[in-house]
Structure 1
Amino acid sequence: MSRWTGIRAVLFDLDGTLVDSAPDLGHAANLMRQRRGLPPLDEAFYRPRASSGARGMIEAAFGLTPEHPEFEAYRQEYLDTYGQVLTRRTHPFDGVAELIAALQHAKLAWGVVTNKIERFALPLTAALPLFDTVATVIGGDTTPHPKPHPAPLLEAARRINLPPAACLYVGDDERDIMAGRAAGMATVVARYGYLGIAADVEAWAADAIIDAPIGLLNYLDLS
């Protein structure tokens, strides 16, 4: 297994890559179902859809897509509800803390680039000790375009004062790999993440695929 040289920073997606937020994302949807007299759905049902955020949760819980006339009202209610349970059960995936510690020891910068809007991304990362050493947090509305557009990744590189080619991006959604490639960064799929329904991660054409967070260290030259 060859290691990449010249990588000076690792950027990560948030939900499904660094933290397991599916319990809280699904709980918010179930609270909305409860208000309507509907039974809760299992967390396992919500989990593969978690990377799609509010859109994915609303479609899972109510079968509504963005084209539905009531979708926007449901979306606003979902966002308000999720904001109340943001950090109830969300936690880093096993091995993430060890990975971050290794990056810190090697003096590699690390940051977050997520499509989660700043309203949630900033307080969530501020609430978890894992992010005490994060160099930058880019939300879905930090730049005019969310992923798969490369703008958020390019903004992260700018903020940590590194060229995009010196950055590696890790994510669990095809949008992450598309954005990373468009930004000129090496890309890694976090196969332990949410991935989406019937995802074919091999077809995403990432530079590498890892089955656990610590597996990323196999591709980095930390000497």
Structure 2
Amino acid sequence: MFPNVQAVLFDLDGTLIDSAPDLAAAADRMRTRRGLASLPFEHYRPVCGAGARGLLGVAFGVKPGDPGFEELREEFFVNYESCMTERTFAFAGVPQLIDELLGLGLAWGVVTNKSMRFTGPLTRRLKLFASASAIVGGDSTPHAKPHPAPLLEAARQLGIQPGRCVYVGDDERDVIAGHAAGMHTVAAAYGYLGGNGDCTRWGAHAHVADPLDLLALLKTGTRA
């Protein structure tokens, strides 16, 4: 399915790592500090890929541009910085997947909309990322996904043509960015899905229900 692939790039939250417990805790702490009832984790998880915008929308019903949103966002950021690796872990199968990719001689990296304020410390603390050859955050280029600029920057860092890269993500914007960058695209059906559970409608070249399913696409060309 993906001929001449030399690298695999991944979104971060909801694709490689399940950071939802820490993200949700940072937002929910803001509610309880204000005397509001804690919300169930299930309310937060689907929007974790949207970061502060999605989480604050659930916690307080606010959106960018609303009065006080900027102050709430910075409070959320500070909360998250204090706990961002307490409950965050790689999805089952991801460490093995990375080992297999390296065994196949493929480079790999991360392209996320999470700002480097968080992406840098997070990827340095988790040993999974020690072998990553590119780490691109949401503010590493002038544009974030769904613009292709971050994916093209990752390919530049790897020294590999975009057409020889696969991009895996759990949000429709990942597929849009991947297509715009001229990469092969894979939708991670096990992720947060941006609140849109039907990832088969995003137009990805393939979708995987489990991280290790990606290996079949790379080794045999079998559609997952």
Aligned partner of 1:164 among 153, 162, 165: 162
Q: Any residues of structure 2 matched to 1:116-155 within 5 Å, and which?
A: 116-155=114-153
Amino acid at match of 2:11: D
Aligned to 1:6: 4
2-structure distance, mates of 1:146, 1:196: 16
Partners of 2:10 and 2:105 in 1: CA distance = 16
- 2:20 — aligned with what? 22
What are the ranges of 5 or more consecutive residues in structure 1 without an aligned counterpart? none
Task: State the secondary structure of the residue aligned to 2:194.
Answer: coil
Superposition map of 1:110-121 within 5 A: 110-121=108-119
- TM-score by length of structure 1 reads 0.96
Out of 101, 104, 116, the residue aligned to residue 103 of structure 1 is 101
Letter in 2 for 1:121: T
**Most deviating of 62-71 and 137-146:** 62-71
Cα offset, 1:179, TM superposition? 0.5
| Letter aligned with residue 18 of structure 1 | L
Give the stretch that moved more between structures: 194-203 or 109-118. Answer: 194-203
In the TM superposition, residue 67 of structure 1 has moved relative to its aligned partner by 2.9
Q: What is the CA–CA distance in structure 2 between the aligned matches of 1:198 and 1:123, rounded to whole Å?
A: 29
Corresponding letter in the other structure for 2:76: Y
2:198 is the counterpart of 1:200: yes
| Structure 2 Cα separation of the partners of residues 175 and 76 of structure 1 | 24
- Percent identity between matched residues is 54
- Counterpart position of 2:80: 82
Give me the whole-angstrom Cα distance separating, in 2, the residues matched to 1:156 and 1:14. 13
Runs of 4+ in structure 1 over 3 Å off: none
Maintained 8 Å contact 1:164/1:183:
yes
RMSD across aligned positions (CA): 1.0
SS in 1 for 2:166: strand
1:185 corresponding residue in structure 2 = 183
With the length of structure 2 as denominator, give the TM-score of the two structures. Answer: 0.96
Q: Distance in 2 between matches of 1:36 and 1:169?
A: 41
Matched residues, number: 220
